[in-house]
């Protein structure tokens, strides 16, 4: 089946080819008359796909507003024949009940082969970790303002459902600027039996302003190094309660937008490039200071390098919460004036020669630390405080963060990094090799260049 998709990519843009492949997989899950309409078609394949797709009514149910049946602009001649071959291959090798796993694998394969900038889908291991840190519960309102494939919403639902017998799903809300991504998200929600609201059309969440949703949980993976985010249009926006975000980076525009969408006791997990934690720019440093002083930052997790195939930029997860007192949404342990720093940079395992990932046991390991630290009711929480047992995580008071100039990098506050669990045959891969060290030097040089430019702009 991968070969059939690759053959289509030779004639049609990869984004369009994978859009078509995902639609075919989705229709395979429906089976019955919908799949029969597609597999028994006569003549060109694309009109048959359009007929079957219209019958799903997905475009109207989710207000997708997408023209035609596919992302491609007409599949004629050889391209249509290759689509026909893809349909036949899916029919031959994919049982209808296994389409959810195949849909996920297709998303990962697209990101690995063609992802760049903000045009990729959040890896499954990172999505599981983000959902696990936030700990969404049945009936809570979960928002992803840059939802892409909808994977974070799906993982939030799976996390909530997995908290014990009879546990239900949260209420999912997703927004995205891409019509293609919204269609993928709609398919993903339906495949996972998750009712969701994707809005009335494509929307730029930053320029569109706060929805006023008062979400219980926000999960977000905004694009790295996003510069054209609307700085001049949004000067003085009421969401910038901690300070105006800098023109050249949307990091703190996203952080403050997410905080504006949270309920008074809401919590959020957002994926950010490492530069957000330690930038020496005056405006960004001031925003970090005000966030720490306002006590909306609960934790930061430094992630391993190599989890994102399209970039070598280091990344961290920021855990935000507006109320760290003892309550149902937070846990029984009040953590006012404290931030939990976790250095998980060496927990990755080898996926293949060029990719790394966080295994399920490592995701559980990190979530267990956060759950127990805040006293959350979770299947992963334990009675003792695990931060006393390991040297790679530490709860830090506000005064110490101030002493370090509001640097929010976990490596600043913890003594060492963990190594992947010994049960992993690839745990030795956690050590940084010469190539990783070289990339680290490149990234440090880039940060120094940015500091120099900042100084020159100020003078």
Of 123-127, 348-352, 400-404, the one with minimum mean pLDDT is 348-352
* pLDDT confidence band for 72 (50 / 70 / 90): very low
pLDDT score of 71: 46
Same domain, yes or no: 139 and 34: no
Look at residue 196 and give its three-state secondary structure. strand
Cβ neighbours, 10 Å, residue 201: 11
| Domain end position, chosen among 83, 114, 145 | 114
Tell me whether residue 455 is in a domain: no
Q: Do residues 122 and 151 make contact, with C-beta atoms less than 8 angstroms apart? A: yes
Q: Which of 374, 378, 258 is nearest to 325 (CA)?
A: 374
pLDDT score of 328: 92
Same domain, yes or no: 214 and 252: yes
Instruction: Report d(CA 87, CA 108) in Å as an integer.
Output: 20
Same domain, yes or no: 131 and 162: yes
Q: Do residues 252 and 291 make contact, with C-beta atoms less than 8 angstroms apart? A: no
Question: Does residue 282 have a pLDDT over 50?
Answer: yes
pLDDT score of 385: 60
* pLDDT confidence band for 425 (50 / 70 / 90): very low
Between residues 30 and 339, which one has the greater pLDDT?
339
Instruction: Report d(CA 448, CA 459) in Å as an integer.
Output: 17
pLDDT score of 387: 59
Same domain, yes or no: 103 and 179: no
pLDDT score of 426: 40
Same domain, yes or no: 130 and 244: yes
Same domain, yes or no: 8 and 145: no
Instruction: Report d(CA 297, CA 338) in Å as an integer.
Output: 8
* pLDDT confidence band for 284 (50 / 70 / 90): very high
Could you report the per-residue pLDDT of 28-49, keeping only the tens digit for each? 998 888 898 899 888 899 999 9
Question: What is the percentage of the chain residues whose pLDDT exceeds 90?
Answer: 66
Tell me whether residue 450 is in a domain: no
Could you report the per-residue pLDDT of 220-267, keeping only the tens digit for each? 999 987 888 999 999 999 999 999 999 989 999 999 999 999 999 999
Same domain, yes or no: 202 and 332: yes
Could you report the per-residue pLDDT of 135-181, keeping only the tens digit for each? 999 999 999 999 999 999 999 999 999 987 777 899 999 999 999 89
Could you report the per-residue pLDDT of 77-132, keeping only the tens digit for each? 999 999 999 999 999 988 888 899 999 999 999 988 887 766 778 999 999 999 99
What is the span of the domain harbouring residue 77?
2-114
Q: How many domains does the chain have?
A: 2
Instruction: Report d(CA 63, CA 174) in Å as an integer.
Output: 12
Q: What is the CATH number of the domain that holds 282?
A: 3.40.50.150
Same domain, yes or no: 68 and 139: no
Same domain, yes or no: 181 and 146: yes
Between residues 349 and 329, which one has the greater pLDDT?
329
Tell me whether residue 456 is in a domain: no
Question: What is the percentage of the chain residues whose pLDDT exceeds 70?
Answer: 85
Q: Which residues contact 416 (CB under 8 A, 6 or more apart)?
A: 343, 391, 392
Please give the C-alpha separations between residue 432 and each of 132, 225, 273, 413, in angstroms, as whole numbers.
27, 24, 19, 21
Question: Does residue 373 have a pLDDT over 60?
Answer: yes
Tell me whether residue 383 is in a domain: yes
| Domain end position, chosen among 86, 114, 142 | 114
């Amino acid at each position: 089946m991968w070969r059939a998709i690759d053959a289509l990519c030779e004639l049609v843009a990869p984004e369009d080819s994978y859009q078509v492949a995902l639609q075919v997989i989705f229709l395979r899950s429906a089976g019955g008359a919908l799949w029969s309409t597609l597999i028994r078609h006569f003549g060109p394949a694309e009109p048959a796909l359009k007929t079957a797709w219209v019958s799903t009514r997905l475009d109207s149910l989710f207000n997708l507003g997408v023209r035609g049946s596919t992302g491609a602009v007409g599949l004629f001649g050889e391209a249509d024949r290759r689509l026909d071959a893809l349909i036949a291959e899916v029919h031959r090798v994919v049982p209808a009940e296994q389409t959810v796993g195949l849909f996920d694998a297709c998303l990962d394969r697209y990101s690995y082969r063609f992802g760049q900038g903000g045009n990729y889908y959040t890896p499954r291991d990172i999505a599981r970790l983000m959902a696990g840190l936030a700990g969404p519960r049945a009936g809570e309102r979960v928002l992803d303002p840059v939802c892409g494939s909808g994977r974070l919403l799906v993982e939030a639902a799976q996390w909530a459902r997995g908290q014990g017998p009879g546990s239900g799903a949260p209420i999912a809300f997703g927004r995205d600027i891409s019509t293609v991504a919204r269609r993928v998200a709609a398919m993903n929600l339906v495949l996972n039996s998750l009712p969701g609201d994707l809005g009335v059309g494509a929307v730029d969440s930053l320029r569109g302003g706060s929805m006023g949703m008062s979400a219980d949980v926000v999960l977000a993976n905004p694009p790295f190094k996003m510069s054209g985010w609307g700085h001049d249009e949004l000067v003085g926006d009421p969401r910038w309660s901690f300070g105006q975000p800098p023109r050249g980076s949307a990091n703190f525009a996203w952080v403050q937008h997410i905080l504006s969408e949270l309920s008074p006791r809401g919590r959020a997990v957002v994926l950010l490039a490492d530069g957000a934690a330690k930038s020496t720019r005056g405006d960004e440093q001031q925003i970090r200071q005000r966030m720490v002083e306002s006590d909306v930052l609960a934790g930061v997790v430094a992630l391993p390098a190599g989890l994102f195939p399209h970039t070598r930029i280091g990344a961290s997860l920021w855990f935000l919460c507006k109320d760290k007192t003892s309550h149902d949404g937070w846990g029984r342990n009040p953590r006012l004036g404290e931030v939990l720093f976790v250095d998980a940079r060496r927990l990755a395992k080898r996926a293949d020669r060029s990719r790394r990932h966080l295994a399920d046991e490592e995701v559980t390991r990190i979530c267990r630390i956060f759950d127990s630290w805040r006293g959350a009711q979770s299947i992963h929480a334990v009675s003792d405080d695990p931060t006393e047992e390991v040297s790679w995580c530490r709860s830090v008071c506000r005064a110490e963060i101030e002493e370090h100039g509001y640097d929010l990098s976990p490596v600043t506050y913890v003594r060492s990094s963990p190594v992947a669990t010994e049960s992993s045959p690839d745990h030795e891969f956690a050590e940084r090799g010469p190539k990783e060290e070289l990339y680290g030097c490149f990234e440090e040089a880039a940060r120094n260049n940015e500091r120099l430019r900042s100084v020159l702009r100020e003078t």
